[in-house]
Amino acid sequence: MTASPVPLPWWADAVGYEVYLRSFADSDGDGIGDLRGLRERLDYLAWLGVDIVWVTPFFASPMHDHGYDVADYTGVEPLFGSAEDVDALVARAHELGLRVIVDLVPNHSSSEHPWFRQARASRDNPCRDYYIWRDGAPDGGPPNNWVSVFGGPAWTFDDATGQWWLHLFLPEQPDLNWANEAVRAEFDEILRFWLRRGVDGFRIDVAHALVKHPDLPDIPEAARPADPHDIGDAVSRSDWERYDHPYDVDQEGVTEIYRRWREVVEPFGGLLLGEVYLHDPARLARYLNPQDGLHLSFWFKPLHIRWSPEAIREVLRSAVAEVPEHLAWVQGSHDRSRAATRFGGGDLGRGRSLALATLFMGLPGVPFLYMGEELGLDDVAVPPERSQDPIAVRHRAPERARDNCRTPMPWEPVPGHGFTAAGVEPWLPFGDRRPQDTVSVQRDDPSSWLSRWRRLIAVRKSCDLGAPGIDWVDRDGGIVAYRRGRTVFAANCGDASATFALPAGGWRPLFDSAAPAMDGSAGGDRAVTGRLALDAAQAVILQHEG
Ligand code: GLC
């Protein structure tokens, strides 16, 4: 008897899309995106060809970190809508063949969550142990030298009960104590609550940090040699980056939590996608055991590299070698400067971003777009007086502010940009978006960035990705290229035109990032043999003939 083949999970050949909810579409004219606005724009995402929609947190929140401070894990924030709006969103998405994953924030709650209010009420409150409390150091300072990701110490003193609470982010985001079984049980139910409501899975915020070393030892100053590929921006000069993190994140035992969650989500077919922010693929692989780990994790290193063929080759190859099938490939997020800006700005940056996306499309795993990437959007320089991000507002580090990548989507070249009503001031400025940056203008132009991204996604869906292995067919020089089965993916990541030797046989172009319009059929050009020439930032997908 032969074993029947294991069916592929529903996300196996999917493409994902991050919706930063506050900035996607505002249906009620308050200048902030909401659930109904997103529902009304789902047709666009279906047309674009993505499959998974990750929606940033819409749970009840005092918004100190724009929803990543959750005061009720099963309640919907009125600013974004109601529970019925979630149901309607999920129902419409499913009608369109889209899946919805919600953003679960388990590392910390809001300080206004009833658990924390009770925990603060007295040392012997049953919720006290939901959080991490310690006495101060003998000198009266914090219990150890841990720092917050946002800057400053990771501890705040509670006058009423005379102890310090731990927060790897804002003081208003106290870290939950995952050593406490009661916390684990609470989250089992939170997962079930949303799965029963029909969501298709979870993006797990700060998934690598839930467990801390039980002794909370001091962390050492960073001893790592500088990574030559690293972009070396303001983030890499932050308090957090000044230390190594052997005790505060990525602890043994964190994967046990995901083993437990796999059992919870499996009956629903739910997806677990981690924000595992580790730049070492071998460490990342520990979270992705196919049997009982997270199904997918983002791989963030591409958000931190300079544009160079060496950096791109390294960042792709190292991850594929360690984690063959469980990566979500990203080049942007609501936490980083936009890819087009990081990669040089303007059309240069847009072209490079599309070239990197082309390389992502054939790798095992799931490519994700960050809202607006498909338009080639670059950052908006949000003036300091309009800053919203607590990193800028609270920690006075405007150079690290995440506002510039979070500005509203430009849908149409009209007042309000089709994001909100004319005359409404959005929560972050639109910036000087041009008509050709908008969805409606690009949609009708076959040579636009949007049309190219859409063709790229369609080609990923249609081409033969059956073969599991990746064969890197580039040698060195500017072109990064690999073969998967009958398909070659290649991008010129250098600064000048270059050629490379195709594997034997004839190769028919399916996608060309530089082709202004290849009509709906995407291809049909004559087969190429021998050497292929690509301009700087040009990327192609080719299929073997015969
Ligand atoms: C994640 C989110 C980020 C948030 C932080 C704290 O990194 O992506 O936006 O500020 O977690 O929850």
Average of per-residue pLDDT across 67-96: 98
pLDDT at 546: 75
pLDDT band at 516 (very low <50, low <70, confident <90, very high): low
In a domain, 3, yes or no: no
**37 and 127 both lie in a single domain:** no
CATH number at residue 118: 3.90.400.10
Ligand 1 atom with the smallest distance to the CA of 277 is 7
- Between strands 531-534 and 366-370, the pairing is unpaired
**73 and 139 both lie in a single domain:** no
pLDDT at 524: 53
- Ligand 1 atom 9: residue of nearest CA: 335
459 CA from centroid of ligand 1 (Å): 32
Using the 3D structure, point to which of 411, 429, 453 is the last residue of a domain.
453
pLDDT at 2: 53
- pLDDT > 50? residue 520: no
Residue to substitute in 335, 391, 393 for testing ligand 1 pocket (most ligand atoms within 8 angstroms of CB) = 335
369 CA from centroid of ligand 1 (Å): 17
pLDDT band at 227 (very low <50, low <70, confident <90, very high): confident
pLDDT band at 9 (very low <50, low <70, confident <90, very high): very high
Average of per-residue pLDDT across 123-141: 98
Judge if the beta carbon of residue 205 lies within 6 A of ligand 1. yes
Judge if the beta carbon of residue 65 lies within 6 A of ligand 1. yes
**100 and 122 both lie in a single domain:** no
CATH number at residue 261: 3.20.20.80
| Contact yes or no for 163/133 (Cβ under 8 A) | yes
Q: What is the mean pLDDT of the chain?
A: 94
**121 and 194 both lie in a single domain:** no
| Contact yes or no for 196/202 (Cβ under 8 A) | no
In a domain, 121, yes or no: yes
202 CA from centroid of ligand 1 (Å): 14
Domain that holds residue 142: 114-166
Summarised one tens digit per residue, pLDDT across range 150-181 is 999 999 999 999 999 999 999 999 999 999 99
103 CA from centroid of ligand 1 (Å): 10
Judge if the beta carbon of residue 298 lies within 6 A of ligand 1. no
**100 and 119 both lie in a single domain:** no
Using the 3D structure, point to which of 413, 430, 453 is the last residue of a domain.
453
Using the 3D structure, point to which of 418, 453, 488 is the last residue of a domain.
453
- Ligand 1 atom 6: residue of nearest CA: 68
In a domain, 7, yes or no: no
Judge if the beta carbon of residue 24 lies within 6 A of ligand 1. no
Judge if the beta carbon of residue 343 lies within 6 A of ligand 1. no
Tell me, what amino acid is at 474?
A: D
In a domain, 459, yes or no: no
pLDDT at 397: 78
Number of domains in the chain: 3
Residues with catalytic roles: 205, 275
- pLDDT > 50? residue 518: no
Ligand 1 atom with the smallest distance to the CA of 390 is 10
For 37-46, the CB contacts below 8 A with 24+ separation are: 38/89, 39/85, 39/88, 39/89, 39/92, 39/93, 41/411, 42/89, 42/92, 42/93, 42/96, 42/98, 43/96, 44/439, 45/17, 45/96, 45/98, 46/96, 46/97, 46/98
In a domain, 8, yes or no: no
**157 and 202 both lie in a single domain:** no
pLDDT at 523: 47
pLDDT at 517: 53
In a domain, 176, yes or no: no
- Ligand 1 atom 5: residue of nearest CA: 68
Both structure tokens of 403: 């506002």
**291 and 353 both lie in a single domain:** yes
Summarised one tens digit per residue, pLDDT across range 372-426 is 999 999 999 999 999 999 998 887 777 888 999 999 999 999 999 999 999 999 9
Cβ neighbours of residue 112 closer than 8 Å, sequence gap 6 or more: 62, 69, 71, 172
Judge if the beta carbon of residue 249 lies within 6 A of ligand 1. no
pLDDT band at 7 (very low <50, low <70, confident <90, very high): confident
Percent of the chain residues topping a pLDDT of 70: 97
CATH number at residue 515: 2.60.40.1180
58 CA from centroid of ligand 1 (Å): 14
- Ligand 1 atom 3: residue of nearest CA: 335
**123 and 239 both lie in a single domain:** no
pLDDT band at 3 (very low <50, low <70, confident <90, very high): low
Judge if the beta carbon of residue 537 lies within 6 A of ligand 1. no
**235 and 377 both lie in a single domain:** yes
| Euclidean distance between CA atoms 360 and 354, whole angstroms | 10
Model pTM above 0.95: yes
In a domain, 505, yes or no: yes
**153 and 87 both lie in a single domain:** no
67 CA from centroid of ligand 1 (Å): 9
**59 and 160 both lie in a single domain:** no
415 CA from centroid of ligand 1 (Å): 31
3-class SS at 116?
helix
Summarised one tens digit per residue, pLDDT across range 305-358 is 999 999 999 999 999 999 878 999 999 999 999 999 999 999 999 999 999 999
- pLDDT > 70? residue 522: no
**264 and 120 both lie in a single domain:** no
Ligand 1 atom with the smallest distance to the CA of 402 is 9
- pLDDT > 60? residue 1: no
- Ligand 1 atom 2: residue of nearest CA: 205
In a domain, 173, yes or no: no
Average of per-residue pLDDT across 14-29: 98
